[in-house]
Amino acid sequence: MLGTRMDFYFLLFSLFFPRIVMVVYLIAYPHLFPNNDVPQWADLLLGIVSPRILVLIYIYQNMGYDNIWFAAHLIVMLMAYFGGGREARRRTRSDD
């Protein structure tokens, strides 16, 4: 693992806006951007296609999988990808 320090605000705001947070931190706060072993091409590709997976990789590499932040991001990712619950199902039914 590269280190154990990740910025609290990066972790918190990336729960809700992962793509925006990564761009802001990369441009405005590059010294607080998480250390990682992800190749640059994979950083770009995952950052565009699936930033939540990239954030999970960053958390895993810096803090491990047995961390509350990893669990929180995993749960939010699953909720986002599988509809988020009752409200999303209600919206899709009313559109049909």
Nearest CA-CA partner of 54 in 26, 86, 93, 87: 26
Is residue 2, in this structure, part of any structural domain at all?
A: no
Could you tell me the residue range of the domain that residue 44 belongs to?
A: 8-95
Residues 27 and 7: their CA atoms lie apart, in Å, by 15
Is residue 59, in this structure, part of any structural domain at all?
A: yes
Q: Write the single-letter amino acid at 55.
A: V
Query: How many folded domains does the chain comprise?
Result: 1
Is residue 85, in this structure, part of any structural domain at all?
A: yes
The predicted pLDDT at position 4 comes to 46
DSSP 83: T
Confidence (pTM):
0.78
Q: What is the pLDDT along the chain (96 residues), one digit of tens a residue?
A: 444 467 888 999 999 999 999 999 889 988 888 888 999 899 889 989 999 999 999 999 999 899 999 999 999 999 888 876 666 666 666 655
Is residue 3, in this structure, part of any structural domain at all?
A: no
